Amino acid sequence: MPIQVAQALIPSTVNTPIDARTVVNGTSDIADIELPYIGMRVYCTGNGKEYRITSLKAKTIGALTVENAAVDEYEEIAEGGGGGSSSETPSGGATGGLTAAQAAKIALIYG
């Protein structure tokens, strides 16, 4: 059930997110985020990178299997708004934050 507030939320300590799920220590902690959602942005303090959750999967909670209750896949959000997959490393050079695979596809099309 949503909680309605009459005014803006203000954390009582410095450097504290409004939603604690949006900050993790390491990328291995992304899989442990409770009640994730597609498009959720997560900051990793261990490497200083930001990630976007791209798909969810079922999770067994007690005796029940709950659909879309766990992180399945996520991607790194590259600086400048580009995006690379969590399984691909963005290429360097003048590719504008594209992964090597994305740059190769573009090269094939516009060659």
Does a structural domain hold residue 11? Answer: no
CA separation for the pair 96, 6 (Å, rounded): 43
Say which residue, 110 or 4, is predicted with more confidence: 4
Does a structural domain hold residue 24? Answer: yes
Question: What's the domain count of the chain?
Answer: 1
- Spatial contact of 100 and 91, defined as CB atoms under 8 Å apart: yes
Q: What is the mean pLDDT of the chain?
A: 84
Does a structural domain hold residue 91? Answer: yes
Whether the pTM exceeds 0.75: the reply is no
Three-state SS at 36:
coil
What digits encode the pLDDT tens for the residues 15-49? 889 899 999 999 999 999 999 999 999 999 999 99
Does a structural domain hold residue 9? Answer: no
Does a structural domain hold residue 6? Answer: no
Does a structural domain hold residue 2? Answer: no
CA separation for the pair 42, 61 (Å, rounded): 23
For 65, the domain range is 20-110
Does a structural domain hold residue 26? Answer: yes
Q: Residue 80: pLDDT band by 50, 70, 90 thresholds?
A: low
